[in-house]
């Protein structure tokens, strides 16, 4: 059984690994472009929105604040949610100042946190897959290299070449097999860079949302 599996791998070589790496590369590029577009559109105008909302809250214009938040939600039409708008809407619609029922600071904090958690689902989409591609494709490429080397030595054994001709045959097979490792790294490096960049962006947005949450709760308790 083991010998049969070994022979099957030596016959296949590294070609099928290269195909899978190519597919993973396409998948990684597609997810990177999708995430880049999502974050760009989600945060479009967020700085101006945050500034205007803070100004209205300081002036205790609660109805105008809620109208501002509702206008941004309507403009987005349910697409590309940011971390702050829905959270602000949740707080403003659950406070006495906005015409709702008064709630305790702890309850307000929980409401805001629940809203942020729901929004984070859309923000964290595909990041785990990008991380997996970035961390695993080098090993997959190395696996392809090992298979290619196995095939090179198997071909040498069945071909019967010796001396310089045999060494040349093995060297060519090993050089071809090393391509799998190179492609594995080629796929992994952009995926890791994209993942780290997006993670930093999500972390920064979460910190901004947390700061706005504290500001809103503090203002509503005055």
Residue 211 covered by a domain: no
Same domain for 188 and 118: no
Using CA atoms, how far apart are residues 65 and 106, in angstroms rounded to an integer? 22
Are the CB atoms for 3 and 141 separated by under 8 Å? Answer: no
pLDDT at 137 over 80: yes
- Is the domain of 57 the same as that of 160? no
In angstroms, the CA 6 to CA 2 distance is 6
With CA atoms as reference, report the closest residue to 65 among 116, 99, 103.
99
d(CA 146, CA 92): 60
Residue 90 sits in which domain range? 46-125
Based on the fold, state whether residues 20 and 121 are members of the same structural domain. Answer: no
Which pair of structure tokens corresponds to residue 201? 């962006």
Kindly report, residue by residue over 28-52, the tens digit of the pLDDT: 999 999 999 999 999 999 999 999 9
Are residues 21 and 32 both part of a single domain? Answer: yes
Q: Is residue 214 part of a domain?
A: no
**Number of domains observed in the structure of the chain:** 2
Angle between helices 163-220 and 85-92 (to 10 degrees): 30
Q: Is the pLDDT of residue 158 over 90?
A: no
- 80 shares a domain with 9: no
Residue 171 pLDDT more than 80?
Answer: no
Q: What is the pLDDT of residue 12?
A: 60
What is the pTM for the complete model shown?
0.82
- Indicate if 80 and 109 belong to the same structural domain: yes
Identify the pLDDT of residue 155: 67
> Quick one: CA torsion of 118, 58, 56, 76, rounded to 10 degrees?
-20
What is the biggest distance separating any 2 CA atoms in the chain, rounded to whole angstroms? 90
pLDDT of residue 191: 95
Q: How sure is the predictor about 5, in pLDDT bands with cuts at 50, 70 and 90? A: low
């Amino acid at each position: 059984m083991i010998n049969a599996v070994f022979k099957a791998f030596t016959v296949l070589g590294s070609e099928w690994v290269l195909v899978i790496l190519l597919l993973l590369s396409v998948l990684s590029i597609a997810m990177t472009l999708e995430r880049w577009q999502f974050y760009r559109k989600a945060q479009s105008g967020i700085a101006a929105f945050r500034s205007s909302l803070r100004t209205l809250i300081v002036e205790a214009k609660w109805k105008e604040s809620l109208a501002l938040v509702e206008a941004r939600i309507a403009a987005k039409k349910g697409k590309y949610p940011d971390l702050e708008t829905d959270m602000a809407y949740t707080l403003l619609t659950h406070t006495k100042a906005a015409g709702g029922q008064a709630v305790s600071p702890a309850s307000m904090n929980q409401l805001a946190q629940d809203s942020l958690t729901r929004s984070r689902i859309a923000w964290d989409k595909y990041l785990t897959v990008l991380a997996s591609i970035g961390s695993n494709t080098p090993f997959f490429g190395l696996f392809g290299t090992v298979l290619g080397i196995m095939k090179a030595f198997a071909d040498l054994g069945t071909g019967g070449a010796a001396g310089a001709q045999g060494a040349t045959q093995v060297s060519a097979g090993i050089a071809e097999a090393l391509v799998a490792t190179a492609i594995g790294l080629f796929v992994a490096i952009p995926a890791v860079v994209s993942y780290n960049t997006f993670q930093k962006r999500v972390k920064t947005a979460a910190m901004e949302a947390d700061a706005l949450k504290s500001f809103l709760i503090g203002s509503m308790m005055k």
